[in-house]
Amino acid sequence: MPIITVEVDTSEAGSRPLIAPISMPSPHHTLLHMATDDVPMHFTQEAQTGQSVIVVPPVGLGARSSITFRYQLSDCGTTYPEAMFLPRDSRFTRAASALIDNAHQVVAGERAVRGKVDALVAHTAKAFTYGHPDARYYEGCDEVPMLGCGVTEGSCVDINIYLIAALRSVGVEAGYVAGYFFPEEKNGTCNDMHCWVVIRDGGEVLEWDIAHHLKMGTRDIRPGLNPKPGERYAVSHSMGWNIPALGVRDAKLLCEPMWVEADGSLSYAELSIHLHRDRAQAA
């Protein structure tokens, strides 16, 4: 029974509230229980998807140097939430007209959903090299732009923003999932979140992870999780988060604990993330 612990450094919390997603179901795992340290907290929701969020106010942190969230999961899954497949109007999901036109050109002649998906996945893989650039290709844009010639450096988030926008442009049911990936060689630790794309074709659900294929040096992308050996756990879904109770508007995503700034923007916290396989390890 996996337990994920996420320890947050709160030594410089100041007057900022700390928020964390509660987790989501997937075909691979189901949340059984979530707990944290004995501090004041309350709950709120993302406005469009209904995903629940824990809010720890500054008074709840006090002089603490850290706080730990614990996710206890079952290895038995259910299904991905219906809400993650519903298009939403956000600068992180709204495709520019040039991107829409290009997506239709890429899938020209393909009638089957799987054919369209394969074509757009291959096209996206050729357009990116994996990395974490200082400037993202969509920064300052109100919609997901069409990439020019050449290869663009991008993280898993950057790659999947482009892929989701392209897939939805041609009518494919696609959803964005974020969570934690624990590489086999790191023995139950990771540094931050990871994300992947899920598509539906009738009754079939397929998962895609272009970023991990690129990290392994191949653009021959196949459906399925963990082309890079390890374990992954879904935590949240969808981009363009709105949390009215906290003044958060069109934030890119919430997968891990984050700080809410005075202007409603979200900033990353310093985290220590571990995967345990029994209660004693997680205590």
pTM for this model (two decimals): 0.93
* Alpha helix ranges (H) inside the chain: 58-61, 97-106, 113-127, 156-169, 210-215, 279-282
Q: Taking the domains of the chain in order of start, what are their residue ranges?
A: 3-81+238-282, 84-234
Token readout for 56 is 């720890």
Kindly state the average pLDDT of the residues 193-214: 95
Out of 116-120, 203-207, 236-240, pick the least confident. Answer: 203-207
Kindly state the average pLDDT of the residues 236-261: 97
Q: What percent of the chain has pLDDT over 70?
A: 98
Token readout for 136 is 């993202």
Distances (CA, A) of 146 to 113, 116, 136, 163, 199: 22, 18, 13, 11, 21
Residue pLDDT, tens place only, 85-98: 999 899 999 999 99
Cβ contact 145:96 at 8 Å: yes
Kindly state the average pLDDT of the residues 92-114: 96
Residues 131, 157: Cα–Cα separation, whole Å: 11
List the CATH code of the domain at 84-234. 3.10.620.30
Asked whether the predicted pLDDT for residue 280 surpasses 70, the reply is no
